[in-house]
Structure 1
Amino acid sequence: MEKLIQPFLALRPHPQLAESVIAPPYDVLNDSEARVMVQNKPNSFLHISKPQVDLSDSIDPYSEVVYQKGKDNFEKLKSGGVLVRDTVPCFYIYRIERDGHQQTGVSCVASVEAYDSNIIKKHELTRPQKEDDRVKQISSLKAQTGPVLLVHKKSSEIKETISLLSNSPPDYRVVSNDGNVHSLWVINNPSYIDQIASNFNNLDQLYIADGHHRSAAASRVAKFMKNNKSAQFFLSVIFPEDELQILPYNRLIKSLNGLSPQELLNHIGKSFNVSVSQKQFQPENKQQFGMYLEGKWYKLSFKKNITNNNPVSSLDVSILHDEIIKPLLGIIDPRIDPSIDFVGGVRGLKELSDKVDSGKMQLAFSLFSTHVKELMLVADSNKIMPPKSTWFEPKLVDGLISHMLD
């Protein structure tokens, strides 16, 4: 393998139209939310990433007509000059700002061979239906439109290069629907391109933070488009480990599995110190958990000392599952059990209490955020994290930058 990453000929919006094009990632909105968001927005990238918004409410989102509609919408934006292709390979400095937080990385294409060889490391299993959907979308568009979020270990050389190249007004500065600011610098100077490529290609590994289905789909597409050089790389944005922000991924439970609330509390008390909290409880340390039950918030503090060196079993999401969710609430596989739901920390704790108070759920848990170093340790150990362990915020947007397979 010669290259971990390389520059590419991006497809991106005409700068004056960029804010009308960018859209949330396809998998953070349901179809109803997407239909509302595209109203009076003919350039929205949701017409490409979720093309069912332009079809009947009853349409199967995985039917061929949906992928064809996405292709038609994509071609329309390209032929109308809304999306424009670069003429020389470039790197792109990508910065996101949200509520005082700022993270700056590099958009590029990353090697499928490095992914297949586990030099670009994984930490999550994929679901076949979701992976198949991304394969069909990429194949239909002949493009990768959703960037994979990658992370690299801290590097002073990379940091200095990015600081230098982002010390000028950006080529794009757009505000997404959630109020986050996305800035992009187009880097087409050959000497800077060589410098960025050298910095990253000297790294020992990269890590997938978010986008396991997109990267897995890109790997599959690369195999049946093996003579297509562009298809041997996948669209990525790489951020340093010390700038990524991970929020908790909280849990909602539909049933107490035949236990009364007091019985549940008694069982939990065998492994946790349990106390009533006078307000919403957001854990401030590892091995702390919040629990909302019958209109009350509780603070749970894990009693046991974890003595093994298993990077998965020591995660807070694993402790909660192994000590409460599986043995007491009877949920064996949270990937497929309809009795559990997940709420990203960006939605706040009120989302949890509201769902329980409404009667739709009986129980909620708030967690402490997984740290990016824990993610990297799991990946370095060739292990898999439990489902819904991390919620990355802010999110990359779709439509700002795409990778054509030609």
Structure 2
Amino acid sequence: MAHVKPFKAIRPTRDKASFVASRSYQEYSKDELKSQLKYNPFSFLHIINPGYKFHESIAGKERFKLVYNRYLEFLEDNIFQKDEEASFYLYQISKGKFKTLGLFCACSVLDYQNDVIKKHEDTIQHREELFADYLNTVGFNAEPVLMTYAENESVSKLLKKETEQEPQYNFTTTDKISHKLWKIADKQAIDKLQSEFSKIDALYIADGHHRSASSNLLAEKMKSEHKSHTGKEAYNYFMTYLIPESEIRIYEFNRMVKDLNGYTKNEFLIKLDTYFRIEKKDDGLYKPTQKHHFSMYLDGEFYSLYLRKKVYQFTDALSELDTQILYKTILEPVLGIHDLRNDKRISYGYGKHNVIGMKDAIDNGKFAVGFSLVPININEIKAIADAGLVMPPKSTYIEPKLRSGLAIYEF
């Protein structure tokens, strides 16, 4: 049973929403970031990059305090406003044929603890603690955890009905993505949505494992510090964006390794022959087309690698995952990559043109070999999460990527 809760969002005024909304900080190039901070005084980037005001780069807990100060200034200058009634917020993102309609809401840390909210990625403790400290200092969450759920016709009908109303926000950003947001404040509509979600057995984290883990860590800390704790306090929830699983887009990460771990090219190919049927490809860029099929770029040439299924043993959902197969058959035993998250010899790429980028990086001598995979699908993610297993890092690149600043959750 999934618990979803409306909340009183802090939001930009309607006339400034398009200026406030920002992509993730990491997605901006240095020039883009500089331009946004210089020419757009309403950008949410001013809040998360508070040192710009002082022409300094500020990190650590001092930065957290300044983030809070910039946030207060946005409230004081009426760039942000606080809704008077607890609401759900329906948010639609569309570009070309890709469209997603989801719900901003608050989800329960108890659901996270009780495995109603399911995870498929591991988290790093010091990152959990750092972000929990950040949340504790600033007192708000502006980046929702992206979660998905099984197709539900009743929920879809309720949400579609809400889109017949005039949206609070309706704008298009310079990357040609359309954004619409509706506020759902009607108690009857809220009750219906809560009732329907209570019939859903599980929610799956698609993006935001560290954010959800940090919110849980903070809730436990706050609980220990508040003798009058009831479980209903705002810190017992965290902001999420819920969409049906059919509206998730999953892309692959390729893998690039800087050297062949001391092997010559022929020695390396012979090692790979244990687990794969290897075929050289002469028709330009080559990508894999199915599960357990990989492409490799080595010394100016593409190869197809077909897994020898009689040699490799499938034991559980994780063992069937292509990223795990690549790790267990090549990256760890042959190339000596044991720590996929921290080993500096391995790097990752994603996106529609990642094969071109991989080829160019290897041709330029930055890496020795690269591997491409087919994208993991939502059923594989769910199987891993349901089994309580953890994917290798950089197994999925998931869209939609949400704008920051359109809805903020205070606790």
Which TM-score band (shorter chain)? over 0.9
Counterpart contact for 1:253–1:341, Cα < 8 Å: yes
Task: Say if 1:175 and 1:288 are closer, same or farther in 2 by CA, change over 3 A.
Answer: farther
Deviations 1:240-278 (A, max 9, x none): 111111011111211211112232222223322222332
Alignment of 1:248 with 2:252, yes or no, is yes
Alignment of 1:128 with 2:148, yes or no, is no
**Corresponding residue number in structure 2 for 1:40:** 39
Q: What amino acid does structure 1 have at the position aligned with 2:151?
A: K
Counterpart contact for 2:48–2:67, Cα < 8 Å: yes
Alignment of 1:371 with 2:377, yes or no, is yes
TM-aligned CA deviation for residue 90 of structure 1: 0.6
Structure 2 residue matching 1:370: 3-state secondary structure: coil
Tell me the number of residue pairs that the alignment of Structure 1 and Structure 2 aligns. 402
Counterpart contact for 1:252–1:341, Cα < 8 Å: yes
Output aligned runs, 1:17-166, within 5 Å.
17-28=16-27, 34-35=33-34, 37-52=36-51, 59=58, 61=59, 63-166=60-163
Q: Which runs of 5+ in 2 are unaligned?
A: 224-228
Counterpart contact for 2:93–2:178, Cα < 8 Å: yes
CA distance in 1 between partners of 2:109 and 2:346 (Å): 34
With 369-378 and 167-176 compared, the bigger mean Cα shift is at 167-176
**Corresponding residue number in structure 2 for 1:285:** 290
**Corresponding residue number in structure 2 for 1:216:** 213
Structure 2 residue matching 1:387: 3-state secondary structure: coil
CA distance in 2 between partners of 1:304 and 1:87 (Å): 60
Counterpart contact for 1:98–1:394, Cα < 8 Å: no
**Corresponding residue number in structure 2 for 1:15:** 14
**Corresponding residue number in structure 2 for 1:200:** 197
Task: Say if 1:187 and 1:70 are closer, same or farther in 2 by CA, change over 3 A.
Answer: same
**Corresponding residue number in structure 1 for 2:331:** 325
Alignment of 1:357 with 2:354, yes or no, is no
TM-aligned CA deviation for residue 44 of structure 1: 1.7
Kindly report the root-mean-square deviation, in angstroms, between the aligned alpha carbons of the 2 structures: 2.2
CA distance in 2 between partners of 1:261 and 1:154 (Å): 48
TM-aligned CA deviation for residue 112 of structure 1: 0.8
Q: Which runs of 5+ in 1 are unaligned?
A: none
Moved over 6 A (4+): 30-33
Output aligned runs, 1:294-309, within 5 Å.
294-305=299-310, 308-309=314-315
TM-score (norm 1): 0.92
Task: Say if 1:244 and 1:256 are closer, same or farther in 2 by CA, change over 3 A.
Answer: same
**Corresponding residue number in structure 2 for 1:402:** 408
Q: What amino acid does structure 1 have at the position aligned with 2:385?
A: A
**Corresponding residue number in structure 1 for 2:226:** none
Q: What amino acid does structure 2 have at the position aligned with 1:351?
A: G
Task: Say if 1:89 and 1:58 are closer, same or farther in 2 by CA, change over 3 A.
Answer: closer
TM-aligned CA deviation for residue 132 of structure 1: 2.5
**Corresponding residue number in structure 2 for 1:229:** 233
State the identity %.
31
**Corresponding residue number in structure 2 for 1:275:** 279
Task: Say if 1:133 and 1:35 are closer, same or farther in 2 by CA, change over 3 A.
Answer: farther
